[in-house]
Amino acid sequence: MKVAFNVTPLSTASKTRGIGSYTKNLVENLKKKIDILEFTDIKTVNEVDLVHHPWFDLFFNTLKLDRRFPTVVTIHDVMPLVFAKNYPVGIKGQVNLFLQKKSLKSCSAIITDSNVSKNDIIKYLGVSEDKIKVIPLAVNKKFKILTQTEKKDIKNRLKLPDKYLLYVGDINYVKNLPYLIKEFNKLIERKNFQEYKLILVGGAFLGKVDNFHPELKSLIEVNQLIQDYKLAGKIIKLGQILDDDLVGVYNLATVYIQPSLYEGFGLPILEAMSCGTPVLSSSLGSLLEVGSNAVIYFNPLKEGDLWSNLVSLLSNESLQRGVSNLGIKRSKQFSWSKTVNQTIKVYEAVKKI
């Protein structure tokens, strides 16, 4: 079998985000099992069994179909449609959405990361359920428990504090970062927790907000809260860091926190579990699918719920060890080998059509 695989996300801003990670890891692992032709321009593709686009942009006409080949597309989520009021789209975006939906109907199969995303794709894009296959993501093998020597080296090099809470990801509306800042401020007001710091990892945290964009509203609010609560010395913005360093940052964190209102999968909580970091997560979106019983959940719509759960977890080292152990065990149920094998099964089914 020969598959043409669109690697465009590896040369755009997406390369440092979840789409880039998915594209890179999937194509590298697929190459070990089948013949892969990488491309960025569909016009250059010839003599393949099918084409796979590993991402789907709702508001840009990126799904260029070539009728010569069956097409598989991965849709990670349709979050801007679920929270449409917070993601205003102009006329051009609406036209492109129409074109994308039209192209989608001609695709042979759709892959998505979770059942939550599957249901949203059916609801918002009008796709037939039998076309959609849920294939969970996985993390790179480098996300693992490090030795004490390795952790000490990263701690010294990045000048990390002794005790800190961690968040990794973007800063758009659904990430719910203002809620995290407010709950963290509440935590360190208590005498027993004043030594804790909060580390934020992601390129957006060091972004400029001079030119306003709707997605920067949360960054503006976060920066204002940090100023209002006088948290400049308590919150560390690392920005975008290399995976090798990120593994160490996870390993050294006391707790990883995912405050999202929605996730199509929630890769950071799987990365954290793989590194043995206790995870405290929102119960919304697909996060329950990923974390199962290995995570402590809170309601991100309820003021004080994150704070109370955080206090309980930080006050109980035995509980931290228990959550850590459950997370390590849970993370082993996800692997690129499984993801690749399930993806190849989709290819095989499409080839037979």
**What is the tens place of the pLDDT at every residue in 13-69?**
777 788 889 999 999 999 999 999 999 999 999 999 999 999 999 999 989 889 899
Q: Nearest CA to 200 among 157, 232, 155?
A: 232
Q: Give residue 164's pLDDT.
A: 98
Domains present along the chain, CATH in parentheses? 2-138+335-352 (3.40.50.2000), 148-331 (3.40.50.2000)
Q: What is the dihedral of CA 204, 210, 212, 215, to 10 degrees?
A: 10
Residue 59: which residues within 8 A CB-CB, separation 6 or more? 80, 89, 92, 93, 94, 96, 97, 100
Average pLDDT over residues 277-305: 97
pLDDT for 213 equals 59
Confidence band of 203 (pLDDT split at 50, 70, 90): confident
% of the chain surpassing 90 pLDDT: 88
In the predicted structure, residue 212 carries a pLDDT above the cut 60: no
* pLDDT at residue 318, as a whole number: 98
Cα Dmax for the chain: 67
290 closest CA partner among 168, 75, 26, 113? 113
Confidence bin at 216 (pLDDT 50/70/90):
confident
CA nearest to 339, candidates 249, 241, 279, 270: 270
pLDDT, residue 16, reads 73
Q: Is the pLDDT of residue 296 over 60?
A: yes
Per-residue model confidence as pLDDT tens digits over 118-168 = 999 999 999 999 999 999 999 999 999 999 999 999 999 999 999 999 999
**Phi–psi pair at 36, nearest 5 degrees:** -115, 130
Residue 205 has pLDDT above 90, yes or no: no
Kindly state the average pLDDT of the residues 324-343. 97
| Residue 130, amino acid | D
Angstrom CA distances, 16 to 172, 240, 305, stand at: 16, 8, 31
**Residue 53 identity:** H
pTM of the full structure: 0.94
Tell me if 110 sits within 8 A of 132, measured CB to CB.
Answer: yes
User: What phi and psi values does residue 29 have, to the nearest 5 degrees?
Assistant: -80, -30
- Which pLDDT belongs to residue 267? 95
| Whether residue 210 has pLDDT greater than 90 | no
Give the model confidence (pLDDT) of 302-316 as tens digits.
999 999 999 999 999
Arithmetic mean of pLDDT over the chain: 94
Residue 206 and residue 216 in contact, taking contact as beta carbons nearer than 8 Å: no
Spatial CB neighbours of 151, under 8 Å, sequence gap ≥ 6: 248, 251, 252
Q: What residues form DSSP beta bridges with 76?
A: none
In three-state form (DSSP H/G/I as H, E/B as E, the rest C), the secondary structure along the chain is CEEEEECHHHHCHHHHCHHHHHHHHHHHHHCCCCEEEEECCHHHCCCCCEEEECCCCCCCCCCCCCCCCCEEEECCCCHHHHCHHHCCCCHHHHHHHHHHHHHHCCCCEEEECCHHHHHHHHHHHCCCHHHEEECCCCCCCCCCCCCHHHHHHHHHHHCCCCCEEEEECCCCHHHCHHHHHHHHHHHHCCHHHCCCEEEEECHHHHCCCCCCCHHHHHHHHHHHHHHHCCCCCCEEEEECCCHHHHHHHHHHCCEEEECCCCCCCCHHHHHHHHCCCCEEEECCCCHHHHHHHHCEEECCCCCCHHHHHHHHHHCCHHHHHHHHHHHHHHHCCCCHHHHHHHHHHHHHHHHHC
